[in-house]
Structure 1
Amino acid sequence: MQIHHLLEENSIAGKFVAQLRDTEIQKDRMRFRRNIERLGEILGYELSKTLKFTSKNINTPLGNAEVQLPETQVALCSILRAGLPLHNGLLNYFDDAENSFISAYRHHPTSDENFEIVVEYLASPSLEGKTLILADPMLATGRSFVNVMKALEHMGKPKEIHLVAVIGAEEGIAHVAEEFPESTKLWIATIDKELNDRGYIVPGLGDAGDLCYGGKLQH
């Protein structure tokens, strides 16, 4: 798997990641969602550089211009619910993409330390021969990405796969690299070293879904 780690170099993206982590700024849910959306835009822009482009002539008021336009057919799939603002950021740039939505949540049958990833809802077009962008802000254990990809298998085989995340843990990235095709590309803003005993990224930022939309009842 090819890893594109955005904050290996300094950029304005670091400011948005810092605000996502800050417990005081996190109290403003609108700002939290907007910062994830901004990072989706930045990561989408970087990803776009690797897509296939074709030359086209267009008419301007004063003449003709030759431009390079993307010809890749993109299918954008986000994992509910934390993936929604990241999806919006990517969709701002890939505005003609087809869209998929899938739910994946942690089910704790016995304790907080032991959980399984449950996939329930899926709405998706055919993915056959398309460029799939699979987005989830937090890449912790990596099991959400893996289980979601398995759930999408019957929708067709993508031509290429791009994973987009804001923060990931080294352990989860290693797991995803083992399970996804070698040609898969991961676009991620920043990488943390550890998971705690509940499978959350440390230092991370907490539960992205709750910070975006408020707490939830467990079932």
Structure 2
Amino acid sequence: MQIHILSENNSVLNHFLGQIRNVNVHNDSMRFRRNIERIGEIMAYELSKELHYSTIEIQTPLGIKKTTEIKDQLVLCSILRAGLPLHMGFLNYFDSAENGFVSAYRHHPNNDAYFDIKVEYQAIADINNKNLLLIDPMLATGQSIVAVFNRLVERGTPKEIHIAVTIAAPEGIAFLEKHLPHNCHLWIAALDEKLDEKSYIVPGLGDAGDLAFGEKL
């Protein structure tokens, strides 16, 4: 797996990451959503450097200019509900991409720390021979991403696979490396220290879905 950690180089990305973590900013859900969207835009720009391009000629008012355009067919797929703002950031840049949405959540059957992943609602474009971009803001254990990926590939075989997350834990990265194809690209805005006893990322930022859209029952 090829791992790209974007916060290792100073840029405005780190400014936005600081704000989404800051408890003094967490009461502003609109700012949280917008900053996640901005992070998605920055990640889309960096990811675009790994895509394939075709040379084209365009007509300007004064002549002909050679340039390039994205050759790959892209399918953006986010995990509901937390993935929606990050998804929009990618869609702002890859505006001709097809889209998909899948719900996945932690299910605690015994009301204790043990959980499995439930994958339910799915609405996804054809991914056969296309570049699949699987989007989720938090990579904690990695189980949700692997469960969604396994469900998606029942429908077809992508040409390339990119996983995009805002914040990741080392345990989640190790799980993806074990269970996903070796030629995946993993794009991480920031790598954190560890998971706690409840499998939450530390220092993390809290529940991204709640911060973006309000607390759930």
Please, what TM-score do these two structures have when normalized by structure 1?
0.98
Matching residue of 2:7: 7
CA distance in 2, matches of 1:177, 1:161: 13
Q: How many residues align?
A: 217
Aligned counterparts of 2:125 and 2:132: Cα–Cα separation in 1 = 11
- Identify the residue that residue 108 of structure 1 maps to in structure 2: 108
Gaps of 5+ in 1: none
> Match of 2:154, SS?
helix
Counterpart secondary structure, 2:44: helix
Asked whether the equivalents of residues 127 and 155 of structure 1 are also in contact (C-alpha less than 8 Å), the reply is: yes
Question: For the residues of structure 2 that align with 1:112 and 1:65, how far apart are their CA atoms?
Answer: 62
Comparing 159-168 and 111-120, the one that deviates more:
111-120
Distance 2:116 2:34 in 1: 29
List aligned pairs for 1:186-201, cutoff 5 A. 186-201=186-201
Superposition deviation, residue 114 in structure 1: 1.4
Counterpart contact for 1:139–1:172, Cα < 8 Å = yes
| 1:169 correspondence with 2:163 | no
Partner amino acid for 1:66? K
Query: Residue 99 in 1 paired to residue 105 in 2?
Result: no
Unaligned runs of 5+ in 2: none
Aligned to 2:182: 182
| Bigger mean CA offset, 189-198 vs 80-89 | 189-198
1:47 counterpart residue number: 47
- Answering whether residue 159 of structure 2 is matched by residue 159 of structure 1, we say yes
Moved over 4 A (4+): none
Distance between the aligned counterparts of 2:109 and 2:155, measured in 1?
29
Shift of 1:95: 0.3
Deviation at 1:36, TM superposition (A): 0.5
The amino acid across from 1:178 in the alignment is: K
- Please tell me the residue identity of whatever aligns with 1:77: C
Does the aligned pair in 2 maintain the 1:125–1:155 contact within 8 Å? no
In 2: Cα distance, 1:39 partner to 1:45 partner: 10
- What RMSD, in angstroms, separates the aligned Cα atoms of the two structures? 0.7
CA shift, 1:169, in A, is 0.1
What is the Cα deviation at residue 111 of structure 1?
2.8
CA deviation digits over 1:81-140, x for unaligned, max 9? 000000000000000000000000111112341111110000112110000000000000
Query: Equivalent residue of 1:155, what SS?
Result: coil
After superposition, give the CA deviation of every residue in 1:1-25 in whole Å (9 maximum; x if it has no partner): 0000001111110010000100010
Q: Distance in 1 between matches of 2:184 and 2:199?
A: 24
Partner of 1:35: 35
TM-score, normalising length: structure 2: 0.98
Would the aligned equivalents of 1:124 and 1:155 in 2 still touch at CA under 8 Å?
no
